[in-house]
């Protein structure tokens, strides 16, 4: 529920940031039988009803340029929270059944197929605003969940003797809670105020995103070409089989050149860069540019503090795993907190919170390292390296067991998953 302004705020846990990951964590904890009070702080003004109305007022042909490639573990979490039914029935989500990846500077190709895995799909392409709307709709189900909007975090105290933290809010109010969770994005104010350091560097890439209409249907397929400047992805959208979202990661100089082009010249550049995989590009919406940086917090937890999602880590979008890692963080932390509540443990204790860090930090570091390796592998290389790269891609495409192992992990069907997201074997 949305909480009106009052002098006193009481809660058993505070989450800073009501984006996709913060909302998912709040709802997962609100579901717990403990009935603990959860306070969700969001700097954006307004309320959930207004945000949902604004989305409903958008014409059906309007698409959010920011999309996520949800794997099946993330979908399982959204199902448990009640959000997935809303996303599918009231909004839209596009299941993709194939993924075709090729080397634009060589002859290497890999094709991933849901049919080969005997699965209905590999995942879903969903607009970020739609995911958030599906989660927002669930807020009214819980009286123990407060959403406070238009409020930022001004100060965060060191832990008190009992491990609790004092939050000073931008409207002058204070909130003392056993645990504060930072889910407030890559430039996390929570992380900064807590003094938790992060290793970060510039990828040397900007991501250009927009929505396009193509001559040929997308065929429920994700298309990704590694160009000389960076990866270009066509991601299928629901509602119109000729609509796709593009994510073009390229050098800052090339990105600025693309942004400066006329719509017609940009569409022609897009056709050339994509090897005409979907024919001509007939229409393109407004383009947006997102600078890309890698970040990883030195640690995710301290006494009375935990970081999740982009507040803890950001990675290159070339494999579309960013939001999935955030949802896995939310599910793992919810598992740890619920178990601690059930055992009567203090959730502020660092030894308790380290259970979450042990689950997620190594997995996130491995994914970050893999994305960095791919990025470097497909950077401009001498001809012999390009030849080896293409041979390696073609070999992997023929090694079905290896390929299936990789894609099952990306789909969230294997590997170390939070307990609540593990697939039940029947």
Q: b/e per residue, 32-53, with b = 16+ CB within 10 A?
A: beeebbbbbbbbeeebbeebbe
Distances (CA, A) of 13 to 171, 196, 319, 330, 387: 19, 20, 33, 14, 54
Contact 86, 133 (CB under 8 A): yes
pLDDT for 276 equals: 95
pLDDT for 273 equals: 95
SS3 content of the chain, % helix, strand, coil (to 5): 40, 25, 35
Contact 250, 206 (CB under 8 A): yes
Contact 326, 131 (CB under 8 A): no
Residue-level pLDDT, tens digit, the chain, 426 residues: 444 445 668 899 999 999 999 999 999 999 988 789 999 999 999 888 899 998 888 888 899 999 999 999 999 999 999 999 999 998 999 999 999 999 877 788 899 999 999 999 999 999 999 999 999 999 989 999 999 999 999 999 999 999 999 999 999 999 999 999 999 999 999 999 999 999 988 778 899 999 999 999 999 999 999 888 889 999 999 999 999 999 999 999 999 999 999 999 999 999 999 999 999 999 999 999 998 888 999 999 999 999 999 999 998 776 667 899 999 999 999 999 999 999 999 999 999 999 999 999 988 888 777 766 666 666 666 777 778 877 888 887 888 887 888 888 888 887 788 989 987 654
Nearest to 26 by CA among 325, 337, 339, 380: 337
pLDDT for 77 equals: 97
Which domains, and CATH codes, for the chain?
A: 13-374 (3.50.50.60)
**DSSP SS3 for 357:** helix
Contact 28, 334 (CB under 8 A): yes
Compute the residue count for the chain. Answer: 426
Contact 108, 102 (CB under 8 A): yes
Distances (CA, A) of 41 to 101, 163, 219, 230: 40, 20, 40, 37
pLDDT for 3 equals: 46
Residue 184 CA to residue 16 CA, distance in Å, equals 6
């Amino acid at each position: 529920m949305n909480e009106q302004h009052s002098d006193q705020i009481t809660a058993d846990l505070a989450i800073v940031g009501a984006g996709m990951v913060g909302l998912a964590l709040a709802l997962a904890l609100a579901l717990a039988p403990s009935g603990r009070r959860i306070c969700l702080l969001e700097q954006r003004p307004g309320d959930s009803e207004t945000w949902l109305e604004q989305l409903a007022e958008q014409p059906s042909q309007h698409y959010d340029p920011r999309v996520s490639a949800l794997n099946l573990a993330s979908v399982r979490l959204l199902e448990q929270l009640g959000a997935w039914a809303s996303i599918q029935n009231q909004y839209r989500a596009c299941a993709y059944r194939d993924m075709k990846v090729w080397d634009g500077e060589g002859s290497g190709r890999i094709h991933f197929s849901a049919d080969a895995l005997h699965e209905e799909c590999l995942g879903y392409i969903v607009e970020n605003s739609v995911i958030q709307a599906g989660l927002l709709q669930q807020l009214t189900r819980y009286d123990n969940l407060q959403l406070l909007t238009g409020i930022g975090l001004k100060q965060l105290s060191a832990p008190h003797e009992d491990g609790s933290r004092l939050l000073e809010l931008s409207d002058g109010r204070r909130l003392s809670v056993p645990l504060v969770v930072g889910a407030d994005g890559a430039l996390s104010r929570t992380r900064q105020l807590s003094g938790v350091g992060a290793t970060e560097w510039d990828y040397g890439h900007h991501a250009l995103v927009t929505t396009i209409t193509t001559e040929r249907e997308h065929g429920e397929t994700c298309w990704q070409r590694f160009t000389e400047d960076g990866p270009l992805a066509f991601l299928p959208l629901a509602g119109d089989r000729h609509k796709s979202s593009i994510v073009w990661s390229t050098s800052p100089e090339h990105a600025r050149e693309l942004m400066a082009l006329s719509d017609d010249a940009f569409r022609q550049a897009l056709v050339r860069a994509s090897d005409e995989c979907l024919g001509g590009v007939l229409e393109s919406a407004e383009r947006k540019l997102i600078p890309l940086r890698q970040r990883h917090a030195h640690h995710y937890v301290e006494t009375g503090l935990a970081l999740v999602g982009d507040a803890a880590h950001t990675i290159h979008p070339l494999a579309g795993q960013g939001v999935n890692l955030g949802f896995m963080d939310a599910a793992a932390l919810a598992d740890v907190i619920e178990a601690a509540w059930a055992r009567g443990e203090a959730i502020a204790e660092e030894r308790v919170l380290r259970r979450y860090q042990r689950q997620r930090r190594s997995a996130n570091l491995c994914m970050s390292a893999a994305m960095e390796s791919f990025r470097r592998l497909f950077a401009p290389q001498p001809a012999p390296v390009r030849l080896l790269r293409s041979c390696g891609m073609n070999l992997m495409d023929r090694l079905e067991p290896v390929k299936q192992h990789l894609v099952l992990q990306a789909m969230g069907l294997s590997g170390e998953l939070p307990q609540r997201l593990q697939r039940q074997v029947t």
